[in-house]
Structure 1
Amino acid sequence: MGQDLRSPRGPQGNAAKCIALVGPFQSGKTTLLEAIMARTGAIPRAGSVDNGTSIGDANMEARAHKMGVGLTAATTTFMGDSYTFIDCPGSVEFAHDMRAALPAVDAAIVVCEADARKLPQLQLILRELEDLGIPRFLFLNKIDRAHKRVRETLATLQPASRVPLVLRQIPIWNGDLVAGFVDLALERAFVYREHKASEVIKLEGGDLDREKEARFSMLEKLADHDDALMEQLLDDIAPPADAVFDDLARELREGLICPVLLGSAMRENGVLRLMKALRHEAPGVAETAKRLGVPDSKDAIGYVFKSSHLQHGGKLSYARVLSGHLDDGATLLSSSGESGRVSGILAASGGHESKRASVEAGETVALGKLDHVRTGDTISTGKTVPASLVNVVAASPVLAMALASADRKDDVKLGQALLRLTEEDPSLAVVNNAQTHDVVLWGQGEMHLRVAMERLHDRFGINVKSHAPVIGYQETIRKPITQRGRHKKQSGGHGQFGDVVLEIGPLPRGEGFAFQEKVVGGAVPRNYIPAVQEGVVDGLQRGPLGFPVIDVQVTLTDGSYHSVDSSDQAFRTAARIGFTEALPQCQPVLLEPIHTVEIVCPTEATAKVNAILSGRRGQILGFDTRDNWPGWDTVRAMLPEAEIGDLIVELRSATAGAGSFTRSFDHMAEVSGRTADQIVAAHRVAA
């Protein structure tokens, strides 16, 4: 998970910092990581996502799809201080990795571009950071391709943030191209040089006028939380440079502002200014430990944000050490009550791991062979089980596929591999469907499930067949009937004889199955009555339409027996025959599962969402503004389970990738007409 080429501490003894790189899909996070690693000397030159040579997309699946499908950590140093950058996937389908890692970081760089279509995704990410109280910079990437003025872009992006986006830099234009930038805090101008440090130039003319105006706007926003600065501005007094930098750092750390910096990750422009902002303004591990409530202790305390099973190297637990000193071989207790002995400490460095004998507070490493430690666990060298610092809840899965190993001998191997996959990525879930006997893998979208399938093949050597999960159709009856069931067989010696009379009728929806007996005169001996019930239950497994039967009441009223040939099995068979013969005469009707669905989406997409639901036989119950989410709505509906299968695909297409939903089973409803005929016909073909 760059290479760890230098000491974890600088000459001033500053603890290592951990910074998350987050942002919408294809905003340039991995390219920015490459630029940072190259500009700080951790790698000879930046790799390329397109060419499959980047640190951030080190695994096979990421390179195949040219996108992040899991987080990557890379460590470097800048001006003597150590930094670990955690490159988080931008796709909402792989967002769990980001959610698990964010609590451990000191600050985040939100990488975005001037694209209003990605605003909903940007809002999702900023909300996550805001709710966790994580200081954040916004890096406006691809500035070399900008066609809008930065103020227009900022006005477009501001609705995504609950705190002011404060412009730290303004571009220097050369015609229609951005040639450099002015640092509003430093009051200096820089001209970009591709893959080299920017060159300082004299600030003059129109750029100087623009700088004065933009700087005053920045100071005004800082003054909203600094009375002394406000007085200086009102009195037209230039504030000291140190005071401005102190305000920028304090208001960033307190979550009062989100500073905005400019650059081009592809050309490595703006990278060193970004690193200097991190060095001087981002908080360190002491503030992060305080935010998480790490107790004051001499013990080493850490947080595990990722688990990974290597093909041949066992399990690695990626962790941030939040306090104390941790040695290889130390015994750790986890907040889940498990314990384990560290067997190997590796610097987190993008597939080029280097061994370490020990680590200090602030460092991010991979710990070997902690088999019982899970993602999200707090770990400690103390003698008592540590309190959990973080509670990471996986998003509800939204898409499923049924799996089976292509070779039956791999069935056990498949079960073990799925356990490992869900441990690595808790946003995957495995469900064994008792009705259909399918193993169903649930995930966050098409690509999420595709990558899981690829990992089963590439890492675990299992070829898997997949199909859409079977819908839980059932059937019931509308009309009561009385039916005799008789089983008689003579084949030499003792024969088989059972005879029953059954009253069969419908029950109210949701009542299930009820059985009773009203036999008089011993027509059916009491010891055979349980077998009669078992025979009826056998008949419930498959009705005349081909599905399990529910909401039926059966009463045993009469019958007859033979003193020699009657048996439990004979009466069980007679009851099943009678029940099965009766059902086609009871006006069977198909039932389908109906779910309550709650969709969250940007307001501008609500009309599209309503149309999607109506086109899927949905009953819209209503919609309202989403609590504490300006510009978002919540839509509630009743939707057949058969229509939910690929709902997330259409929903994300209509909401720029930001919409999602939760669902819960509500009731079974009748299906009639052409729809029912098609379902029954398809089921018979499949059977």
Structure 2
Amino acid sequence: MGADSGSGGGGFNGGRETGPRCIGIVGPFGSGKTTLLEALLARTGAIQRQGTIAAGNTVGDGAPEARAHSMSVEVNIAEAAYLGERITFLDCPGAVDFLGESAGVLPGIDLAVVVVEADEKKVAALQVILKQLEDHGIPHVLFLNKIDKASLRMREVLQMLQPASSVPLVLRQIPIWSEGVATGYIDLALERAHVYREQAESEVIEIPGEEVAREIEARFSMLETLADHDDVLMEALLEDTAPERERVFADLSGEMREGMILPVLFGSAEHGHGIGRLLKAIRHEAPGIGATAARLGLEERGDTVLQILKTVHTLHAGKLSVARVLAGSVGDADTLQRADGSPARVSGLYTVMGQQALKCDRAEVGDTVALGKLEGVLTGETLGLLHPAPQLAPLAPAQPVLALAVRPKERRDEVKLTSALAKLVEEDPSLVVTQLQDATETLVEGQGEMHLRVALERLTGKYGLSVETGDPAVPYRETIRATAAVRSRYKKQSGGHGQFGDVALEIRPLGRGDGFVFTDTITGGVVPKQYISAVRAGVEEALQRGTLGFPTVDLAVTLTDGSYHSVDSSDQAFRMAAIQAMREGLPMCKPVLLEPVHEVTVYCPSDATARINGIVSARRGQLLGFDARAGWPGWDEVRAMMPEAEIGGLIIELRSATAGVASYSKRFDHLAELGGKAADQVLARHGRKAA
């Protein structure tokens, strides 16, 4: 920021642009985000009384799965108005399993309120969330919740939380303590003291005499940090001149919006403390829709543009696409255009309040609304009205870390299950559904144990499906270690034309990863050319289920000889002869079991690296080494080769060892021989024995 940029508010007119605000509420699991949403709604008069998680009467977390687990499992949406300005709040889940819910929402918000408490165990989770915001350039402030239960002094709290942020934490307030309890605060920008009142606006008082020295010291520390980016303010501090209050506020908001500082407010959502101050910060300091559209790369155009933030399938209204209007306006029955120019007609326009959708006629720039029945439109898409809109914030493919095989209890429900899973994936793109042809399995992959549990509960509760689950089948293969020559004749006589095919095959092993090679050395037409392709088809069919019961790979088969009958030979006969020959020959070739091995990279806080190494080694992982994780201070990447059979459930152990924040990525690397007791166990499970 230049010398004069602080007073100008970063070119956004102090953030006070025309149009409603859209505010994300994010933070680690259990920090009180849903309670904060309830407090904000109660303070603005959007609801008459603040509900509680325990009573199950909050606007947020209204889904049955959220109520059952006492945790947010999806983005909660609510509308409010404060001092004449409308605000949409998007309360995002904090558990790492459900962070994918935020991926589509965050690009469209103006400001994120990061809710955290003074708990050292949650610093790593806070870093994950802050990194997500920083990477997207989303302005954010930190709300230190549960100040009434804090046991540390504010300076100690900031020292504890600072490693989670790449920019300085700047304290906007200091608490007024009485017998170890925070009874109010001093606003360092306004130099004004406030006393908390239960579920009401705080009362302004004179700064207590015993707090004056603390206030002066804390204010100077705040101004010093701001002055790092404002030469005029720095000069005022050096000359011991009191800076203009307007300049201080402009620096606080401007440097926050430009990602130079992270302002810290505090309070208690449960008791309604600090809520008014937070609302004022949102109203006066959050960027407006113009800044958000610019951040997304939207250029000026005389057209309506909407960003799809979330998709919801409701039982009564059908599919709803929650969207932020970045430019122009949209009305019911308007026809929008997707990026490829295909149409999407709006059938119903709604504002959202928790689980309720309230019909409206039109949405203007800045509004966050739900659009009815935009068939085919997905979360992350950008839509235009007059012309196709550029894709501003497409969703990155989800990287699942846990999988379940799912099948309906009743076979007649297979089509219903496919439809329900498609809707779940539309609602939550961090779920991945894969149909495995080889194993005839449907896999549901997600971001953790709770993520998949909630998905299954929705299948049962929302869609009325009874399903069975199991561990996904490991795609074992088998290969051979020896060469064999075999001859087989298929002969069948059943009246009329018979069946006759005679083949001689040589089977030999190839190198790992070389696949399957078929050749022939036929001379003299002992096997006519028109039947050679049938021989190959028979060989390939036999390889689908080898001696050990698994597909056979990395071998070569040569057709060396054979004979035919001018009347009885056919493609079918030679195919059957080849199948017989392979079934006789493969057991002679010393078959061996192969298991898939993946290169796995585990991402974890550095203080947990030793524990992660132990977990990987215990799962037959071959450690390749570890490095500092690029762009993640205090984190490591642990690399290893690990059998696929050991990866199932890995994420549960990793998160248990890292306060719930570790993750991993994997890619298939190679097939490796599996012998001894481990191979015997696999074969026993599959009801086969090695030859």
Aligned partners of 2:17 and 2:287 also within 8 Å: no
1:335-389, Cα deviation, whole Å (9 max, x unpaired): 343322222211122123222111211111111121132211112222x211122
Aligned partners of 1:311 and 1:460 also within 8 Å: no
**Whole-angstrom distance in 1 between the partners of 2:565 and 2:344:** 67
The structure 1 residue matched to 2:64, chosen from 60, 69, 83, is 60
What residue number does 1:340 align with? 344
Give the secondary-structure state (helix, strand or coil) at the position aligned to 2:553.
Answer: coil
Amino acid at match of 2:529: R
What residue number does 1:206 align with? 210
Aligned partners of 1:510 and 1:667 also within 8 Å: yes
Amino acid at match of 1:98: S
**Whole-angstrom distance in 2 between the partners of 1:543 and 1:365:** 57
What residue number does 2:180 align with? 176
Aligned partners of 1:414 and 1:462 also within 8 Å: yes
**Whole-angstrom distance in 2 between the partners of 1:280 and 1:54:** 27
**Whole-angstrom distance in 1 between the partners of 2:556 and 2:345:** 59
Give the secondary-structure state (helix, strand or coil) at the position aligned to 2:135.
Answer: helix
The structure 1 residue matched to 2:470, chosen from 467, 471, 474, is 467
1:571 aligned onto 2:577: no
Structure 1 runs not aligned, ≥5 long:
1-11
Matches within 5 A, 1:272-287: 272-287=276-291
Q: How far is the alpha carbon of 1:491 from its aligned partner?
A: 3.7
1:238 aligned onto 2:215: no
Amino acid at match of 1:222: L
Amino acid at match of 1:674: K
Aligned partners of 1:601 and 1:658 also within 8 Å: yes
1:478 aligned onto 2:481: yes
Superposed CA RMSD in Å reads: 1.7
**Whole-angstrom distance in 2 between the partners of 1:228 and 1:280:** 22
Aligned partners of 1:96 and 1:394 also within 8 Å: no
Amino acid at match of 2:268: S
The structure 2 residue matched to 1:629, chosen from 632, 636, 642, is 632
Give the secondary-structure state (helix, strand or coil) at the position aligned to 1:189.
Answer: strand
Classify 1:615/1:328 alpha carbon distance in 2 versus 1 (closer, same or farther; 3 Å). same
- TM-score calculated relative to the size of structure 2: 0.95
Give the secondary-structure state (helix, strand or coil) at the position aligned to 1:302.
Answer: strand
Q: How far is the alpha carbon of 1:559 from its aligned partner?
A: 2.7
**Whole-angstrom distance in 2 between the partners of 1:572 and 1:14:** 75
What residue number does 1:529 align with? 532
Classify 1:607/1:336 alpha carbon distance in 2 versus 1 (closer, same or farther; 3 Å). farther
1:70 aligned onto 2:90: no
Aligned partners of 1:186 and 1:241 also within 8 Å: yes
Give the secondary-structure state (helix, strand or coil) at the position aligned to 1:415.
Answer: helix
**Whole-angstrom distance in 2 between the partners of 1:287 and 1:568:** 70
The structure 2 residue matched to 1:581, chosen from 554, 560, 584, is 584
Classify 1:370/1:479 alpha carbon distance in 2 versus 1 (closer, same or farther; 3 Å). same
Q: How far is the alpha carbon of 1:146 from its aligned partner?
A: 0.4
What residue number does 1:660 align with? 663
Aligned partners of 1:339 and 1:372 also within 8 Å: no
Aligned partners of 2:398 and 2:431 also within 8 Å: no
Matches within 5 A, 1:531-550: 531-550=534-553
Aligned partners of 2:625 and 2:639 also within 8 Å: yes
What residue number does 1:263 align with? 267
Give the secondary-structure state (helix, strand or coil) at the position aligned to 1:684.
Answer: coil
**Whole-angstrom distance in 2 between the partners of 1:71 and 1:624:** 35
Give the secondary-structure state (helix, strand or coil) at the position aligned to 1:214.
Answer: helix
**Whole-angstrom distance in 1 between the partners of 2:340 and 2:94:** 30
1:522-567, Cα deviation, whole Å (9 max, x unpaired): 4333333222222212211111211111111111222333444433
**Whole-angstrom distance in 2 between the partners of 1:190 and 1:26:** 27
1:321 aligned onto 2:299: no
**Whole-angstrom distance in 1 between the partners of 2:80 and 2:445:** 37
Give the secondary-structure state (helix, strand or coil) at the position aligned to 2:353.
Answer: coil
The structure 1 residue matched to 2:597, chosen from 566, 583, 594, is 594
Aligned partners of 2:478 and 2:553 also within 8 Å: yes
What residue number does 1:289 align with? 293
Q: How far is the alpha carbon of 1:670 from its aligned partner?
A: 0.4
Aligned partners of 1:339 and 1:373 also within 8 Å: no
Q: How far is the alpha carbon of 1:201 from its aligned partner?
A: 2.6
1:400 aligned onto 2:403: yes
How many percent of aligned residue pairs carry the same amino acid? Answer: 55
- TM-score calculated relative to the size of structure 1: 0.95
Aligned partners of 1:252 and 1:282 also within 8 Å: no
Aligned partners of 2:623 and 2:641 also within 8 Å: yes
What residue number does 1:132 align with? 136
What residue number does 2:257 align with? 253
Aligned partners of 2:502 and 2:564 also within 8 Å: yes
Kindly report structure 1 stretches of 4+ aligned residues shifted beyond 6 Å: none
Q: How far is the alpha carbon of 1:202 from its aligned partner?
A: 2.6
Amino acid at match of 1:613: V
1:110-163, Cα deviation, whole Å (9 max, x unpaired): 000111111111111111111222111100001111001111010011111111
What residue number does 1:7 align with? none
What residue number does 2:109 align with? 105
Q: How far is the alpha carbon of 1:493 from its aligned partner?
A: 4.1
**Whole-angstrom distance in 2 between the partners of 1:70 and 1:369:** 20
**Whole-angstrom distance in 2 between the partners of 1:390 and 1:520:** 63
**Whole-angstrom distance in 1 between the partners of 2:488 and 2:55:** 72
Q: How far is the alpha carbon of 1:685 from its aligned partner?
A: 8.0
Aligned partners of 1:23 and 1:90 also within 8 Å: yes
**Whole-angstrom distance in 1 between the partners of 2:147 and 2:215:** 18
Q: How far is the alpha carbon of 1:65 from its aligned partner?
A: 1.4
What residue number does 2:13 align with? none
Structure 2 runs not aligned, ≥5 long:
1-15
What residue number does 1:6 align with? none
1:616 aligned onto 2:619: yes
Task: Point out the more displaced range, 153-162 or 562-571.
Answer: 562-571
Task: Point out the more displaced range, 71-80 or 187-196.
Answer: 187-196
**Whole-angstrom distance in 1 between the partners of 2:556 and 2:538:** 14
**Whole-angstrom distance in 2 between the partners of 1:530 and 1:245:** 80
**Whole-angstrom distance in 2 between the partners of 1:388 and 1:555:** 53
**Whole-angstrom distance in 2 between the partners of 1:524 and 1:289:** 71
Aligned partners of 1:494 and 1:565 also within 8 Å: yes
Aligned partners of 1:140 and 1:263 also within 8 Å: yes
Q: How far is the alpha carbon of 1:294 from its aligned partner?
A: 2.2
Aligned partners of 1:304 and 1:375 also within 8 Å: yes
Amino acid at match of 2:402: L
Instruction: Give the length in aligned residue pairs.
Output: 674
What residue number does 1:607 align with? 610
What residue number does 1:419 align with? 422
Aligned partners of 2:311 and 2:427 also within 8 Å: yes
**Whole-angstrom distance in 1 between the partners of 2:358 and 2:679:** 62
The structure 2 residue matched to 1:217, chosen from 211, 221, 236, is 221
Aligned partners of 2:534 and 2:571 also within 8 Å: yes
Give the secondary-structure state (helix, strand or coil) at the position aligned to 1:589.
Answer: strand
What residue number does 2:510 align with? 507
